[in-house]
Amino acid sequence: MRSKRCANSSYLILSEDCTDCVFCFGCVGLVKKEFHILNQKFSRDRYFKLVKELKAALKIA
């Protein structure tokens, strides 16, 4: 969702220049990472809880 210049990645939201990443929100320049928000690592459960809150606050689907 609205990510730029990311390669071989899935489920990125508002991220840029990420490669081989999965489930990242608002991240920049990460490589082979998962469950990150603003380039900070979170547990899987915490990641999904925070992303739900962030999406509601930012009014994005």
Q: Please write the tens of the pLDDT for every residue from 4-58.
A: 889 899 999 999 999 999 999 999 999 999 999 999 999 999 999 999 999 999 9
Structure tokens at 55: 């999406």
Q: Is the pLDDT of residue 2 over 90?
A: no
The band of 1, judged by pLDDT with boundaries at 50, 70 and 90, is low
How is residue 39 annotated by DSSP? T
Over residues 1-5, mean pLDDT = 80
Any idea what the Cα angle at residue 58 is, between residues 51 and 17, rounded to 5°? Answer: 65
Q: Are 48 and 54 in contact (CB under 8 A)?
A: no
How is residue 27 annotated by DSSP? -
Q: Is the pLDDT of residue 59 over 70?
A: yes
pTM of the model: 0.92
